[in-house]
Amino acid sequence: MTTYLLAGGGTAGHVNPLLAVADHLRREDPEASVLVLGTSEGLESRLVPARGYELVVIPRIPFPRRLNRNAVTFLPQLRAAIAAVAALIRLRQVDVVVGFGGYVSTPAYLAARRAGVPIVIHEANAKPGLANKLGARYTRHVGVAFHGTPIPHGQYVGMPLRSEIELLDRAVARPEALEFFGLASDRPVLLVTGGSLGARRLNSTIVASAPVLLAAGWQVLHITGEKSEVIDPGLEHYRMIAYCDRMDLALAAADFAVARAGAATVSEFSALGLPAVYVPYPVGNGEQRFNAAEVVTAGGGMLVDDAAFLPEWVSHELVPVLGDDARLVSMAQAAASVGVADGAARMVRLIQRAL
């Protein structure tokens, strides 16, 4: 029996591809043992047990970026975490460690190296994180979600997608999706989403632009996020919800999207052939702009800075695109041309080669 230790967590960008790979491993080898290494604070603390996997928790140890108290305690904490993971590897007879980035991946990679266990890495972002750049020094089995990701030994596998997205037939699911959200069947759908917490610029601009979007013959499905402060304009053909637990149906309903450019978002839209305007998150290391670069270059998306995504831009740039049927078809085809639906299967094959 093979025992897999999957390490990653903190955000959905790490947890969702991890779970997609775990599910694929379990389907291919029901007798296998799949353990997940995470923290008690991240999304994995809720999502991993809910999916039926054993979660092993270690402390969250952020890498210090300046000399302060955390820098003094970092090395002792890291050594303790490495020792704990190495003991787990020995105790549970782990055959391979698969990391997806995030705080727990660094001690997992270093413990696997100490124990002589193969390491496999998946890097979801076009701009790699620190943990995966470190781990890539110790393995040649590195899968990436985007072509050209600057990480040693990177092999293109695409993004492991949730099964409900991987298997989604948008055309078949569309009638159910329209009914689920209370949308009309005779208008195309603009999906707007900034993620579970929302995006202030996207929300405010879309609400302000609602009349012009509706006048263009479209209807809007606006997922604001649970902490949004925008108020529903109460217009016909404008559906505002705070949270969506059926994103598969939201994607089935959509003909075009406006969203942030998180790696999973870009990958899901591309795999499904959904054209979009991408508005990268303006804070951080700029990885979202890199995530969208390939699909934008192919013609399957448009890129606009957060500061420039204003009602005037919607009126002058987006609305003309929404009114051009030929361009919409072309953009959908271009998005699909760079999309990958079987990223989980490709990643599992990489793991099998490492074994």
DSSP string, 268-279: HHHHTT--EEE-
Residues 314 and 173 in one domain: yes
Phi, psi of 327 (to 5 degrees): -70, -35
User: Are residues 300 and 175 both part of a single domain?
Assistant: yes
CA distance 33 to 7: 14
* Better pLDDT: 68 or 45: 45
Q: Which of 25-34, 65-74, 223-232, 283-292 has the highest mean pLDDT?
A: 25-34
Note whether 290 and 254 are same-domain residues.
yes
User: Structurally, how many domains does the chain consist of?
Assistant: 2
User: Identity (one letter) of the amino acid at 136?
Assistant: A
- What are the pLDDT digits (tens) for 19-59? 999 999 999 999 999 999 998 888 888 989 999 999 999 98
Q: What is the mean pLDDT of residues 307-314?
A: 97
Pair (146, 240) in one structural domain: no
CB 252 within 8 A of CB 176: yes
Residues in the chain: 355
Indicate if 128 and 74 belong to the same structural domain.
yes
Digit-coded pLDDT (tens) for 335-352: 999 999 999 999 999 999
Q: Are residues 107 and 228 in the same domain?
A: no
Residues β-bridged to residue 35: 5, 54
| Each residue's pLDDT tens digit, 167-192 | 999 999 999 999 999 999 999 999 99
In this structure, the answer to whether residues 96 and 186 fall within a common structural domain is: no
Q: What CATH code is carried by the domain that includes residue 43?
A: 3.40.50.2000
Query: Which residues sit opposite 33 in a β-bridge?
Result: 3
Domain range for 80 is 3-159+341-354
Mean pLDDT (the chain, rounded): 93
Long-range contacts of 305-308 (CB under 8 A, 24+ apart): 305/279, 305/280, 306/201, 306/279, 306/280, 306/281, 306/282, 307/201, 307/282
Asked if residue 271 has pLDDT above 70, the reply is yes
pLDDT computed for residue 195 by the predictor: 73
How much helix, strand and coil, in percent to the nearest 5, is found in the chain? Answer: 45, 15, 40
pLDDT > 70? residue 64: no
Closest of 162, 342, 144, 346 to residue 251, by C-alpha: 162
What letter would DSSP give residue 310?
S
HEC-encoded secondary structure of 91-122: HCCCCEEEECCCCCHHHHHHHHHHHCCCEEEE
Where do we find the tokens 């302060």?
68
- Do residues 172 and 155 share a domain? no
Together in a domain, 321 and 346: no
Residue 88, SS3 per DSSP: helix
Query: Which residues neighbour 278 within 8 Å (Cβ) at sequence distance 6 or greater?
Result: 259, 260, 261, 266, 288, 292, 295, 296, 301, 302, 303, 304
Classified as helix, coil or strand, 189 is strand
Question: Is residue 296 within a helix (H) or strand (E), and if so which, with residue range?
Answer: helix 287-298
Domain check: are 233 and 253 in the same one?
yes
Shared domain check, 144 and 50: yes
Domain co-membership, 153 together with 288: no
Question: What are the φ/ψ torsions at residue 284 (nearest 5 degrees)?
Answer: 115, -155
* pLDDT at residue 226 in the model: 79
- What confidence tens digit (pLDDT) does each residue in 196-211 have? 555 889 999 999 999 9
